[in-house]
Amino acid sequence: MIEFINVDKVYPNKVKALQNINLKIGKGEFVAVIGLSGAGKSTLIRCINRMHDISSGQLIVDGVDVKKLKGKEIRKFRRRIGMIFQSFNLVTRTTVIKNVLVSFVPQLSFVRKITGLFAKEQKIKALTALDQVGILDKAYVRVDQLSGGQQQRVALARTLAQNPDILLADEPIASLDPVTSKQVMEDFKRINREMNISVIMNIHHVEVALEYADRIIGVREGQVVYDGKSADVTDDVLDHIYKGKTEEVMEEVKGEQAYV
């Protein structure tokens, strides 16, 4: 479903973010991308939906050469790929359901965009998505009255409403406490299994990645240095990915969660 073929990504400042990436990710996989900060994790997943352009090589998604897409083709392509961010990207001064309905804006006629009127079918899809992540009862509550975990679930529902084939998540639990992180990860896992949506997640929490993902991709200095089953990841593998700083990384994550 997703294939990287000799992909490089070089930023304008000459920094090589990705080097010779060769990967195949099948439909319905749950993949966690791990590595040190600055290793290229975010760049890797953001290339999949063309948030970042690759510099060379090929990136094929469902038979589509992503690099060749232009204009409206890119926007149409992105509708099939949901994206979850660490910062939630919600309008906090309005209701939960209005935030979910935002996913339908590209499909609206000019008049409906101006008036903000959504079709009954779209409202039903939005409510269904909220039910799928367990917060249907919050549909008409303002977002700024929700906890961080609930807000992340709103962001997830908004993405599910667009009926994606692929779900990308960029540090989705970085700003959440351990209990809430577990709840959100359970949502991702359930959606992955029940809806057969491919999940590719960039995550800083090593233990969480190993617990929930079926496959681990380890990135170090822009290169894939491990690609295999979560169950096969050893301490030696982690030390190779994290340059011998695995314990430091895990302590750093615990420290961050203590302040949430």
| CB neighbours of residue 87 within 10 Å | 12
Say whether pLDDT at 111 is over 50: no
CA distance 219 to 238: 11
Of 208, 142, 200, residue with least CA distance to 174: 208
What is the pLDDT averaged over residues 6-31? 95
Confidence tier at 56 by pLDDT (50, 70, 90): very high
Question: Which tokens in the block code for residue 17?
Answer: 């973010």
- DSSP for 28-87, please give it: T-EEEEE-STTSSHHHHHHHHTTSS--SEEEEEETTEEGGG--THHHHHHHTTEEEEETT
Residue carrying the six token digits 């960039």: 202
92-101, 139-148, 178-187, 245-254: least confident range? 245-254
Q: How many other CB atoms are there within 10 angstroms of residue 186's CB atom?
A: 12
Domain range summary for the chain, segments of one domain joined by + = 26-51+72-258
| Rg of the chain in Å (alpha carbons) | 19
pLDDT on residue 1: 87
Class of domain 26-51+72-258 as given by CATH: alpha beta
What are the C-alpha distances in Å from 213 to residues 185, 187, 255? 10, 13, 23
Asked if residue 259 has pLDDT above 90, the reply is: no
Task: Answer whether residue 246 shows pLDDT above 80.
Answer: no
Check pLDDT > 60 for residue 113: no
pLDDT tens digits, 161-197: 888 999 999 999 988 888 989 999 999 999 999 999 9
Task: Please give the average per-residue pLDDT across 12-25, as a whole number.
Answer: 95
Select from 99, 126, 127, 102 the least CA-distant residue to 112.
102
What's the CA dihedral at 156, 158, 161, 165 to 10 degrees?
Answer: -50
Give the residue from 138, 124, 46 showing the smallest Cα distance to 90: 138
